[in-house]
Amino acid sequence: MAESQSSVSDGAAVKAAGASGTVTSVAGSVVDVRFALDALPAVWNALEVERPGAQPLILEVQQHLGRDTVRTVAMQPTSGLARGAKAVDTGSPIRVPVGEAVLGRLMDVVGRPLDRKPALPDTVPRWAIHRPAPTLVRQGRADEVMWTGIKVIDLLAPLPKGGKAAMFGGAGVGKTVLIMELIRTMVEAYAGISVFAGIGERSREGHELLLELEQSGVLARTALVFGQMNEPPGARWRVGMSAMTVAEYFRDERGENVLLLMDNVFRFVQAGAEVSGLLGRLPSRMGYQPTLASEIAELEQRIASAGNAAITSIQAVYVPADDFTDPAVAETFSHLDASIVLSREMASEGLYPAIDPLVSTSALLDPRLIGPEHYATAQDVRRIIAHYRELQEVIALLGIDELSRSDRAAVKRARRLLRFLTQPFQVTEAFTGRPGRTVGIAETLAGCRVILSGEVDEWAEGDFYMVGGFDEVRAHHAVEAAP
């Protein structure tokens, strides 16, 4: 609490009186500003540049070029900005509105509304976006499961409450749909606060998400912060920190659990690489910025439980060219408690959510945390699907009849398990015509055990596809079996 109080001052949007400087150079998003000798603003301080007929341009100080000049990165387009314009030091980093007033609102990186609703009043508290992570003494353990109602996640990669989970996948495998479903189910199940960070998103996707949340009735408990694809790299680089700051307010000041969703963390890294290039830093491996590790750590380490409340983060991570050895992807992996990997091969087969059951993992998949029954079932499911994957090449070459009896039985059960772990989502109901399903972990475990036992080896595979619990499988089979 002391950390939060020290950075809020009196809680209102009060700006410290600061020195004023003059813009001396504008090169795209990079703006140089000259101040009086030895009166330079601190690194990360925000500067405001007044523009006729428009809102002030916000600049963030990145470098001190000498005793009188700073190099900054703009958070909005700099078109029309001329040399000689006056820039005023606000005396603090970028500050964004926080609290109840931001719920149900869509904001940009500096807290300005994007939803065509009235601007937030000056009385709304504002916090600086650069904040320290909770100390180890304040942090709690992320060993409690946050159940999602999505069968394959709860069974094989349970999400930790107060931890970090990420969904990795290339383009078009269902990351954003999964994020949208998680927003709906988590707000409804846990009645907490959701904060969504749209990093490098298309404006169409933001509009669709806003409408979806409004129609589902969860917008009133959700804050959205967007740095769109067409915005300067500085906005896309800092929007994750703006959303994090909104989430920290509810955790630290209100004692509420917060679900922080980020889509897409790779765009955050990409924006940082753009900024790094604009600032003249030499690139590192594969053209990424030399500060890649520290930038990701600065964001990820703030996601934690503190006191009696927690921030739980679920992040979408685009995998360029499906290359999981990419430095941005590999560095993100190192901070996670759970990794959900989406498979293009499964998506092409229509197995949605296209989560690969063999490479998706969680630190909570431990018999001491989830119980021996859950752990044993998850391991058996993985083992039989792994065996099926090993046999696929043999089946393609020689046919399934050339397998031994035990191998044929394993293939049947694995194929039925893969289909049972598919699930219709509420957010896709309008497109698929299938009502969405939420399934408890007990139902999931019971269904998997029935399939593993061999009782339903002769049932049609279609009975298991896109259903909820096993009762629905039985109902489908009864209809098919009826004369």
Residue type, 35: F
Percent of the chain with pLDDT over 90: 64
pLDDT score of 88 more than 60: yes
Cα distance between residue 463 and residue 456, in whole Å = 10
Residue type, 433: G
Cα distance between residue 26 and residue 33, in whole Å = 9
Range 338-355 average pLDDT: 93
Determine the pLDDT at residue 14: 39
Determine the pLDDT at residue 483: 66
Tokens coding 161 = 């409450």
**Closest alpha carbon to 127 in 90, 105, 156, 94:** 94
Percent of the chain with pLDDT over 70: 96
Q: Angle, nearest 10°, between helix axes 292-300 and 265-278?
A: 140
Cα distance between residue 74 and residue 132, in whole Å = 23
Tokens coding 120 = 């937030």
pLDDT score of 402 more than 90: no
- pTM equals 0.87
Q: Are 158 and 338 in contact (CB under 8 A)?
A: yes
pLDDT score of 15 more than 70: no
Determine the pLDDT at residue 9: 39
Cα distance between residue 365 and residue 387, in whole Å = 20
**CA atoms within 13 Å, Cβ hemisphere of 111:** 26
pLDDT score of 12 more than 60: no
Q: Which residues are the active-site residues?
A: 175, 201-202
User: ∠ at Cα 343 (338, 347), nearest 5°?
Assistant: 130
**Closest alpha carbon to 226 in 195, 251, 180:** 195
**Closest alpha carbon to 4 in 196, 255, 222:** 255
353: cis peptide before it, omega within 30°?
A: yes
pLDDT score of 170 more than 50: yes
Report the mean per-residue pLDDT for the chain.
89
